[in-house]
């Protein structure tokens, strides 16, 4: 008696054929570190290329016959002003004073904003009390408070720092409150079903979930703090990058004005890079794609 399976193999049944082993080459998996390094090089390279194109276009315009180089100084003249400020040490003094004001005002504004935003966003009845305050001050620019600040606080250093506090406070408090409100209910219910108290749920569930919102508000607050820096240093100040720009503008030193603007942009970019790294570290558990 002939085995049925052997008969199928002999008859060429495709279902019974066993494919021969093929020595296929192993697929090389990409190195994550190399991919991240390549992404970083592309990001930095394209960023510098964009800046180079803008500077190049401006430089070409300054070389045109109709261009007034007093009002539109070419980049070499701006670099000369930068070198002069570095050589006499005035640039570092002004950067130091501006950083002191921005950092102090930013820290105070962020601490107050996080406290108020978390309270208003997580505790219902506290929100009923605090939300009208937040909504009423949100549309008012920080610069609108300058006359009141001068009258109530004076023209000394606390007045300049208070302007930056107000500028950093508003975006941070709004984002913090929103982050506390958007905690998924399933997380809250899971924590409460395990016996977590309201405060334990706040610290272990709600606050970590709101960190991306808080960091986004802090980055915006840092940017608005630098926006308010120039106006804050106009209040009877004799130092700082804002004072440098204002004083140079009054004396028609446009090369110094452009130099001050570039320095503020570089300093703000470096501080924002620090905030981005801090956000990536604090939210390393997040599944959001990092770019």
**CA gap 114, 109 in Å, rounded:** 9
- What was the pLDDT predicted at 2? 47
**CA gap 186, 178 in Å, rounded:** 17
Whole-model pTM: value is 0.79
* Per-residue tokens: 270: 């470096």
The label of the residue with tokens 């016959």 reads 65
- What was the pLDDT predicted at 10? 47
Of 265, 251, 259, residue with least CA distance to 76 = 259
Of 201, 185, 215, residue with least CA distance to 117 = 215
Q: Are 156 and 150 in contact (CB under 8 A)?
A: no
The label of the residue with tokens 């408070």 reads 145
Range list of H helices, the chain: 4-10, 32-62, 75-87, 90-122, 124-137, 146-152, 157-181, 185-193, 198-201, 207-232, 241-250, 254-282
Cβ-based neighbour number of residue 276 at 10 Å: 13
Given its phi and psi angles, is residue 126 left (phi above 0), alpha (psi -120 to 50 degrees) or beta?
alpha
Residue 192 neighbours by CB under 8 Å, 6+ apart: 201
**CA gap 124, 137 in Å, rounded:** 20
Domain boundaries, the chain: 2-62, 75-282
For residue 167, give the DSSP letter: H
pLDDT tens track, the chain, 291 positions: 445 544 444 455 554 454 544 455 555 555 667 777 788 788 788 888 898 999 899 899 988 888 888 888 999 999 999 999 999 988 999 999 999 999 999 999 999 999 999 999 888 898 899 999 999 888 888 888 888 988 898 888 898 899 999 999 999 999 999 999 888 888 888 888 888 888 888 888 888 888 989 999 999 998 898 888 888 887 777 888 888 998 898 888 999 999 999 999 899 889 888 888 888 887 777 665 555
Cβ-based neighbour number of residue 130 at 10 Å: 18
**CA gap 206, 49 in Å, rounded:** 41
- What was the pLDDT predicted at 57? 92
- What was the pLDDT predicted at 177? 92
- What was the pLDDT predicted at 37? 78
Residue 201 neighbours by CB under 8 Å, 6+ apart: 188, 191, 192
For residue 204, give the DSSP letter: I
Superfamily covering domain 75-282: MetI-like (1.10.3720.10)
- What was the pLDDT predicted at 232? 84
Q: Are 215 and 283 in contact (CB under 8 A)?
A: yes
C-beta pairs of 133-139 under 8 Å, 24+ apart in sequence: 134/173, 134/174, 134/177, 137/170, 138/170, 138/174
- What was the pLDDT predicted at 250? 87
């Amino acid at each position: 008696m002939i085995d049925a399976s052997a008969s199928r193999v002999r008859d060429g049944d495709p279902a019974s054929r066993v494919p021969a082993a093929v020595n296929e080459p192993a697929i090389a998996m990409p190195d994550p570190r190399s991919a991240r390094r390549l992404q970083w090089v592309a990001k930095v390279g394209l960023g510098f290329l964009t800046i180079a194109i803008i500077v190049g276009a401006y430089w070409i315009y300054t070389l045109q016959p109709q261009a007034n180089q007093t009002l539109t100084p070419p980049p070499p003249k701006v670099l000369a002003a930068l070198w002069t400020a570095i050589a006499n040490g005035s640039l570092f003094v002004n950067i130091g004073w501006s950083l002191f004001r921005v950092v102090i005002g930013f820290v105070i504004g962020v601490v107050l904003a996080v406290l108020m935003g978390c309270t208003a966003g997580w505790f219902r009845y506290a929100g009923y009390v605090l939300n009208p305050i937040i909504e009423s001050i949100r549309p008012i620019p920080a610069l609108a408070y300058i006359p009141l600040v001068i009258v109530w606080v004076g023209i000394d250093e606390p007045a300049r720092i208070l302007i930056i506090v107000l500028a950093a406070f508003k975006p941070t408090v709004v984002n913090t409150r929103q982050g506390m409100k958007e905690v998924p209910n399933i997380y809250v219910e899971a924590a409460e079903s395990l016996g977590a108290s309201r405060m334990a749920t706040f610290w272990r569930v709600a606050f970590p979930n709101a960190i991306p919102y808080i960091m986004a508000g802090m980055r915006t607050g840092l940017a608005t703090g630098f926006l308010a820096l120039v106006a804050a240093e106009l209040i009877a100040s004799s130092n700082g990058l804002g004072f440098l720009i204002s004083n140079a503008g009054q004396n028609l030193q446009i090369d110094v004005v452009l130099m001050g603007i570039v320095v503020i942009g570089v300093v703000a970019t470096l501080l924002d890079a620090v905030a981005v790294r801090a956000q990536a570290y604090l939210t390393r558990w997040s599944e959001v794609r990092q770019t």
